[in-house]
Amino acid sequence: MSEQYKVTESDQSKRIDKLLTEVIEEASRSQIQGWLKDDVVLVDGKAVKSNYKVQEGESITWHIPEPEPMDILPEDIPIEIVYEDEDVIVVNKPSGMVIHPAAGHYSGTLVNALLFHVKDLSGINGVERPGIVHRIDKDTSGLLMVAKNDLAHQSLAEQLSKKTVERKYEAIVHGEIHHEYGTIDAPIGRDPKDRQRMAVVDGGRDAVTHFRVLRHFTDFTLVECKLETGRTHQIRVHMRYIDHPLAGDPKYGPRKTLALNGQALHAKSLGFEHPRTGEWKKFEVEPPAEFKETLKYLETKEV
């Protein structure tokens, strides 16, 4: 399926390879340059070079090549299945587990575990990502919904697109937030200074995070974040943007932080309409032991 992007006024005169790294979050600049070389990307139906500077109103179309199939093996890895029926699985992913195989992570992923525990998964996302409708970061724990067939996958993906899926996270952030509620509405794209990171940037994709304070600690705050959109690293980037980066975040947080194995972020609540019955399903799980132990430690520091 081809995808399309209309060049806006703010995109004017940007190099096409740079622009597309902001538009296609999952692709690197070198990948996009390869696609341009292979004429996978077209501007108003014509092939262009990587240094082509786009003009407002132009239509960019591309068809991402299918990845080379990998031999993904089922692995007997324990996973916590919170809910399962003929259409959907809800799992409580542990911190430290990668969602699907990729370079450097060909085994030990959630997909490897799912292939062992579940006979059928949706094939819409291809061999590498069977059943995966949405993702949470490797070091983020918590709830994830997985589709067991294409009907379920299409329904859940459409609900995500329409922003009707309810996703709530708990996070421990640096600093003391002095207001109880807030909304961060700031576009997210590739960080122009570091292509391995995301950032709030002009011309980025719309991103909205709602938050409320759950508890105050000395130098830290426990917050609940509700996603309206689902951009890569959204909560991590947005909280850093308002000067309250997540504790333990190796990519977006300060060096002097709490002793954690990754960011203190837990996907605690997930709600969606069942793809077959239309029934509203909602699930909630407690944070992992390390998260709870960190909260206990912060309690000892309270004034």
Structure tokens at 293: 């132990």
Q: Per-residue pLDDT averaged across 96-102, rounded?
A: 87
Task: Point out the least confidently predicted range of 12-16, 99-103, 124-128, 264-268.
Answer: 124-128
pLDDT at 25 (0 to 100):
67
pTM of the model: 0.78
Residue 98 has pLDDT above 80, yes or no: yes
The active-site residue, picked from 137, 139, 185, 206, is 137
Beta strands 88-93 and 208-217 are unpaired
pLDDT at 139 (0 to 100):
95
Residue 71 has pLDDT above 80, yes or no: no
pLDDT at 63 (0 to 100):
79
Identify whether the C-beta of residue 41 lies closer than 8 Å to the C-beta of residue 16: yes
Q: Per-residue pLDDT averaged across 267-293, rounded?
A: 98
- Tell which residue, 105, 125, 127, 133, has the closest CA to residue 115: 127
User: Pick the residue with more confidence: 58 or 122?
Assistant: 58
Identify whether the C-beta of residue 146 lies closer than 8 Å to the C-beta of residue 155: no
Give the DSSP letter of residue 102. B
CATH among 3.10.290.10, 3.40.50.300, 3.30.1360.30, 2.40.37.10 for 3-62: 3.10.290.10
Spell out the CATH class of 80-302. Answer: alpha beta
Percentage of the chain modeled with pLDDT above 70: 93
Residue 278 has pLDDT above 90, yes or no: yes
pLDDT at 102 (0 to 100):
74
127-157: per-residue pLDDT in tens? 667 889 999 999 999 999 999 999 999 999 9
Residue 106 has pLDDT above 80, yes or no: no
pLDDT at 128 (0 to 100):
67
Identify whether the C-beta of residue 283 lies closer than 8 Å to the C-beta of residue 143: yes
Residue 1 has pLDDT above 70, yes or no: no
Identify whether the C-beta of residue 99 lies closer than 8 Å to the C-beta of residue 110: yes
pLDDT-derived band at 302, boundaries 50, 70, 90: low
165-180: per-residue pLDDT in tens? 999 999 999 999 999 9
pLDDT at 252 (0 to 100):
97
The answer to whether residue 137 is catalytic is yes
In one letter, which amino acid is 77?
I
Tokens 């709870």, located at residue? 292
- Tell which residue, 227, 293, 290, has the closest CA to residue 261: 290
Residue 94 has pLDDT above 70, yes or no: yes
Q: Per-residue pLDDT averaged across 296-301, rounded?
A: 92
25-58: per-residue pLDDT in tens? 667 777 788 889 888 899 999 999 999 999 999 9
Task: Point out the least confidently predicted range of 5-19, 59-73, 252-266.
Answer: 59-73
Residue-averaged pLDDT of the chain:
91
Q: Where are the domains of the chain?
A: 3-62, 80-302
235-277: per-residue pLDDT in tens? 999 999 999 999 999 999 998 899 999 999 999 999 999 999 9
